[in-house]
Chain A
Amino acid sequence: MFPYILNKSFYGLLVMLGIVVVVFFLFNILPADPARMTMGQRSDVQSLEAVRKELGLDKPMPVQFALFLNDVSPIGLHGTDSVSRAKYHYQQLFKVGKDEAIVLKWPYLRRSYQTKKEVSEILRETIPNTLILAVTAMVFASVIGIALGVVSAIKKDSWIDKASIGFSIIGISAPSFFAGIIIAWLFGFVLSDYTGLNMSGSLHNYDPFKGEVLTLKNLWLPMITLGLRPLAIIVQLTRSSMLDVLAMDYIRTARAKGLSNYSVVLKHALRNALNPVVTAISGWFASLIAGSFFIEYIFGYNGLGKATVDALGLADFPVVMGSILFCGFIFVVLNILVDVLYGVLDPRVRVR
């Protein structure tokens, strides 16, 4: 098992390296000057040169690339002076030459060109927000979606069934940026006296005199908007797979044994019916993280998607690279986990 994981991790590293190479060179052929983007409308050569030097853009491209790789690589070559120590927070492995050392460290993602803030800090602040939004949206979609699916299957052709099918068609066909605006306007503006919700806002609020407050209510509208499409699909999936299962022989057998309706539906039928639903949920989840940008934008919710797209517009290379690397890392880890899981479940995969 261990060599198998090691093998997979090695491939994972190669994928990450590939990401770095592609993003780095794509950025370099873009017709945008990151240094100029950090200046106001008026600038002179002196200031521009100073900024280029400060951002390391004055060096030839291969050197820039090597330096960047050295920064993001967990094993790198760095100076042993106090400035480098403070910058990279490394564990020295062994010394090379007089004042350099091979070190072990967390990847150093540099500072944003635009804000001069550490990219790792930007990720630390925005990733939890996006994850919370995606997880709650998925939970919301699954719970309500499965419930509605089951109800409409057992009450097939009733008004509940028709309503939930109609609703799910609307849900599937409404693009999230459109649904977002409508939902924000309806519940956050027109009905705000009744719902008490804001049109926009992040999880954190701050009362100037009382301090930080967590405003979970700001999660409701973006969560519902983001969950709407998966919800619609889950309703449909659950309903059809439930109808299939309910028509099977073993359900009749269960009924013949005199089991209560409750246990027939929930214990026997639902369990089997959920298989395709669970597959769909896990697939959707990944795309929710990536697809939450519009929602984050409309609701002014401070998440990873918004940070990345903003950075793209401003040619803020370190932020874009940081977030792409993070997403890449998550996918690589998930893939390794899935592979390992297959290996556990099916020994034939391992033998190969």
Chain B
Amino acid sequence: MSDKQNVRIVIEHKCEQLTNVNHPPTFKGGPEIADKKFLSFLFLLTLFGLLSCSSDKENSSKKVFNINLDQGVTSLDPAFARNNNNIWCDNMLFNGLLQLSDSLKAVPSIAQSFNLSNDGLIYTFHLRNDVYFHDNEHFANGKGRKVVAADFVYSFNRIIDPKVASSGSWIFNDKVSEKVPFEALNDSTFRVNLKKPFPAFPSLLTGQYCVVVPHEVAEFYGKDFRNHPVGTGPFKFKYWKEGEIMVFLKNEKYFEKDGNTQLPFLDAVKITFIADKQTAFMEFIKHNLDFFNNIDGSYRDDILTKSGKLQEKYRGKFVLLKGPYLNTEYIGMLVDSNMAIVKNSPFKDKRFRQAINYAIDRNQMVKYLRNSIGTPAYQGFIPKGMPGFDEKKVTGYSFNPEKSKQLLAQMGYPNGKDLPEITLHTTTTYRDLIEFVQGQLSDVGIKTKVEVQPGASLREMISKNGINFFRGSWSADFPDAENYLSVFYSKNYVPIGPNYTNFKNKKFDELFEKSYYETNDSIRFDLYHQMDNLVMKEAPVVVLFYDQLVNMYQNNITGYHINALNLLNLKRVQKN
């Protein structure tokens, strides 16, 4: 600033002061009123401060584990354990016959042991006799009674009862005998009669649909059992203000022990429902949450480097744990050439579907769009982490744009000339991923339009075979590859089951049916590999990547283990 300017400003300032002196404010009372307003403003601020100071510090000797479930919980009734958050809560409140170990094996829970008849049809479970329901007014004297085999008969029948309309009835529907599916031989012996062998049945039973509920309480509340749950789990239900807060307390009478110490270690679990993930992450940084699991696209870069490491600024502040997650992200293509939308599109040709598969660089995708969360998929539909997964036994598609162009040329579309435009459908959440795919496809000459739809209508279109090219993901309901391969079994065609690509292959069906009668795991896994290879060759899907779990927890938390099914297990967790 020049001296001249400086002088001018000083003069102007002086002038202002002078004018103020010469012309006092028009209204004498002006400042007085302003003062009053200012005072009331101060008063408001003080009130603000007072209210803010009302502390909500917790009882420090008690260990409360704080988590946030951004998706919300729709029901605590295990008959509706259809999404992750419901499952997590049910896993704290209830127990089934069997449970999953960290390595995804079915291990004893309420059943001490079980045996299978030689024909593979009858499972007999021997129950513990020290398992009690949580205390509740609907039991005699309000004390939780002992769990007996008849309780499992009731609970399992409840799942297949059409009046209950459980979202889990598929678990038993086509598997158990129609006459007497479930029997209680005595108080401690429970039996399941199958229609046909199903070697993965023990795995299936570890799911939250198959837990035990007391008929007294479930019948009394009916539909409202959803917010009056009573189980046997490590925690018991205490409070739920929906959409705001949920509290579970330690079950003092829980039957599982860690050595000689009674589980669980925590005194309570407090759950909040902040929908905005970024806000939830900040609450985690502020130590208001002990655990955080959902890294969203919008701030992934803030937390992780492109190679998937924790950013410098967060290192040492909390623990980051990564592990495989049984979830396959893929793009589905309708393959049934009898359908009009396939017949009139290039999707009817296997070579076209293979060309799409070769055109996508999955390494780049996972590294730059996912900050290396996930494993690029060069194998089959069955994801990494699934028992029996072997990256050497199944071959998928590598990134090979030349090969892709070659295939297109063979079809009569050199460099994509005359190739009709295809439309890829997705939801907003996956938009970046799908636009990346769009770019990669255009590099080899495949023109793609991206259509973003709301989740509900996309789901409806897919399950009615209304579109021929869509993004999807498939996560394991139970840790057996049957779960993944059933997506290609021809008898599961839409609308009967989840075969959304309308894949039909005689050889595949034979192998699939054969696997039901194979109890030897390694032989069965071999069948699974054969089927997976077959699917890959026919290419009804583009497998993009196998998902990964990223869990973060505070430094004072111990005893937390990650498992590939993404099941939150808090009974051995300690807060120091």
Chain B residues lying within 8 Å of A150, measured Cβ to Cβ, are 33, 37
B286 interfacial by beta-carbon distance below 8 Å: yes
Chain A residues lying within 8 Å of B316, measured Cβ to Cβ, are none
Contact of A220 among B48, B83, B459, B477 (CB under 8 A): B48
Contact of B174 among A44, A196, A205, A217 (CB under 8 A): A44
Known: A48-B495, A201-B272, A261-B27. Is A313-B32 also a contact (CB below 8 A)? Answer: no
In the bound assembly, the distance between CA atoms of A298 and B282 in angstroms comes to: 12
Residues 38 to 78 of chain A near chain B (Cβ within 8 Å): 38-51, 53-55
B80 interfacial by beta-carbon distance below 8 Å: yes
In the bound assembly, the distance between CA atoms of A55 and B223 in angstroms comes to: 13
CB atoms of A207 and B59 under 8 A apart: yes
Chain B residues lying within 8 Å of A220, measured Cβ to Cβ, are 48, 51-52
In the bound assembly, the distance between CA atoms of A200 and B27 in angstroms comes to: 45
30 of the cross-chain contacts (CB-CB < 8 Å) are A31-B457, A32-B459, A33-B456, A36-B459, A40-B82, A42-B483, A43-B170, A44-B170, A45-B496, A45-B497, A54-B162, A117-B242, A144-B41, A150-B33, A189-B285, A196-B52, A198-B288, A199-B282, A199-B283, A206-B241, A208-B59, A208-B268, A209-B59, A209-B267, A209-B268, A216-B51, A265-B29, A300-B272, A300-B273, A302-B243
B118 shortest CB reach to chain A, Å = 29
CB atoms of B169 and A47 under 8 A apart: yes
Known: A51-B167, A192-B286, A206-B245. Is A30-B457 also a contact (CB below 8 A)? Answer: yes
B166 interfacial by beta-carbon distance below 8 Å: yes
A132 interfacial by beta-carbon distance below 8 Å: no
B3 interfacial by beta-carbon distance below 8 Å: no
Known: A31-B457, A114-B74, A116-B226. Is A196-B275 also a contact (CB below 8 A)? Answer: no
Mark each residue of chain A from 140 to 169: 1 if its CB lies under 8 Å from any CB of chain B, else 0. 000110010011001100001000000000
A125 interfacial by beta-carbon distance below 8 Å: yes
In the bound assembly, the distance between CA atoms of A48 and B268 in angstroms comes to: 37
Chain A residues lying within 8 Å of B474, measured Cβ to Cβ, are 41
A275 interfacial by beta-carbon distance below 8 Å: no
Chain B residues lying within 8 Å of A228, measured Cβ to Cβ, are none
B56 interfacial by beta-carbon distance below 8 Å: yes
B247 interfacial by beta-carbon distance below 8 Å: yes
A127 interfacial by beta-carbon distance below 8 Å: no
Enumerate chain A interface residues (CB-CB to B < 8 A): 30-33, 36-51, 53-55, 111, 114-117, 122, 125-126, 143-144, 147, 150-151, 154-155, 160, 181, 184-185, 188-189, 192, 195-210, 212-213, 215-217, 220, 260-262, 264-266, 297-300, 302, 306-307, 310, 313-315
Chain A residues lying within 8 Å of B82, measured Cβ to Cβ, are 38-40
B215 interfacial by beta-carbon distance below 8 Å: no
Contact of A209 among B44, B62, B498 (CB under 8 A): B62
A179 shortest CB reach to chain B, Å = 14
Known: A208-B268, A209-B62, A314-B456. Is A297-B276 also a contact (CB below 8 A)? Answer: yes
Contact of B170 among A46, A117, A265, A307 (CB under 8 A): A46
Chain B residues lying within 8 Å of A38, measured Cβ to Cβ, are 80, 82, 167
CB atoms of A204 and B244 under 8 A apart: yes
Chain A residues lying within 8 Å of B29, measured Cβ to Cβ, are 260-262, 264-265
B25 shortest CB reach to chain A, Å = 7
Chain A: CB-nearest residue to B29 = A261
B414 interfacial by beta-carbon distance below 8 Å: no
Chain B: CB-nearest residue to A203 = B244
Known: A117-B227, A199-B279, A208-B267. Is A32-B54 also a contact (CB below 8 A)? Answer: no
In the bound assembly, the distance between CA atoms of A199 and B498 in angstroms comes to: 41
B458 shortest CB reach to chain A, Å = 9
Mark each residue of chain B from 20 to 53: 1 if its CB lies under 8 Å from any CB of chain A, else 0. 0000011111101110010011001000100111
Mark each residue of chain B from 273 to 302: 1 if its CB lies under 8 Å from any CB of chain A, else 0. 111101110110110100000000000000
Residues 472 to 486 of chain B near chain A (Cβ within 8 Å): 474-475, 477, 483, 486
B314 interfacial by beta-carbon distance below 8 Å: no
CB atoms of A32 and B460 under 8 A apart: yes
Chain A: CB-nearest residue to B165 = A54
Chain B residues lying within 8 Å of A42, measured Cβ to Cβ, are 170, 477, 483, 486, 497-498
CB atoms of A33 and B28 under 8 A apart: no
B454 interfacial by beta-carbon distance below 8 Å: yes
20 further A-B contacts with Cβ under 8 Å, apart from A144-B44, A207-B59, A215-B56, are A31-B461, A33-B456, A42-B497, A43-B167, A44-B496, A44-B497, A49-B162, A125-B242, A150-B33, A154-B34, A203-B244, A204-B245, A206-B245, A209-B62, A261-B27, A300-B273, A300-B279, A302-B244, A310-B72, A314-B456
Known: A40-B83, A51-B167, A114-B74. Is A202-B34 also a contact (CB below 8 A)? Answer: no
In the bound assembly, the distance between CA atoms of A13 and B174 in angstroms comes to: 49
Chain B: CB-nearest residue to A32 = B456
CB atoms of B244 and A54 under 8 A apart: no
A262 shortest CB reach to chain B, Å = 5
In the bound assembly, the distance between CA atoms of A55 and B56 in angstroms comes to: 42
Which 8 pairs between the two chains have the least Cβ-Cβ distance? Answer: A261-B29, A40-B82, A208-B268, A32-B456, A300-B274, A54-B165, A196-B52, A302-B243
CB atoms of A147 and B461 under 8 A apart: no
B58 interfacial by beta-carbon distance below 8 Å: yes
Chain A: CB-nearest residue to B37 = A147
B163 interfacial by beta-carbon distance below 8 Å: yes
In the bound assembly, the distance between CA atoms of A184 and B162 in angstroms comes to: 46
Contact of A116 among B58, B80, B245 (CB under 8 A): B80
CB atoms of A212 and B239 under 8 A apart: yes
CB atoms of A40 and B477 under 8 A apart: yes
CB atoms of A147 and B40 under 8 A apart: yes
Chain B residues lying within 8 Å of A115, measured Cβ to Cβ, are 74-75, 226, 242
Known: A47-B170, A199-B282. Is A111-B223 also a contact (CB below 8 A)? Answer: yes
Chain B: CB-nearest residue to A193 = B286
Chain B residues lying within 8 Å of A48, measured Cβ to Cβ, are 495
B270 interfacial by beta-carbon distance below 8 Å: yes
Chain A residues lying within 8 Å of B55, measured Cβ to Cβ, are 196
Chain B residues lying within 8 Å of A261, measured Cβ to Cβ, are 27-30, 32-33
Chain A: CB-nearest residue to B55 = A196
Residues 124 to 144 of chain B near chain A (Cβ within 8 Å): none
In the bound assembly, the distance between CA atoms of A10 and B80 in angstroms comes to: 42
B215 shortest CB reach to chain A, Å = 19
B439 interfacial by beta-carbon distance below 8 Å: no
Known: A111-B223, A147-B37. Is A40-B167 also a contact (CB below 8 A)? Answer: yes
CB atoms of B34 and A151 under 8 A apart: yes
Chain B residues lying within 8 Å of A200, measured Cβ to Cβ, are 274, 276, 279-280, 283
Known: A40-B83, A40-B168, A196-B53. Is A265-B33 also a contact (CB below 8 A)? Answer: yes
Known: A47-B170, A116-B226. Is A307-B58 also a contact (CB below 8 A)? Answer: no
Known: A32-B456, A50-B169, A217-B51. Is A205-B56 also a contact (CB below 8 A)? Answer: yes
Chain B residues lying within 8 Å of A45, measured Cβ to Cβ, are 495-497
Chain A residues lying within 8 Å of B286, measured Cβ to Cβ, are 189, 192, 199
CB atoms of A217 and B54 under 8 A apart: yes
B56 shortest CB reach to chain A, Å = 6
Chain A: CB-nearest residue to B48 = A220
B463 interfacial by beta-carbon distance below 8 Å: yes
CB atoms of A298 and B51 under 8 A apart: no
In the bound assembly, the distance between CA atoms of A143 and B279 in angstroms comes to: 30
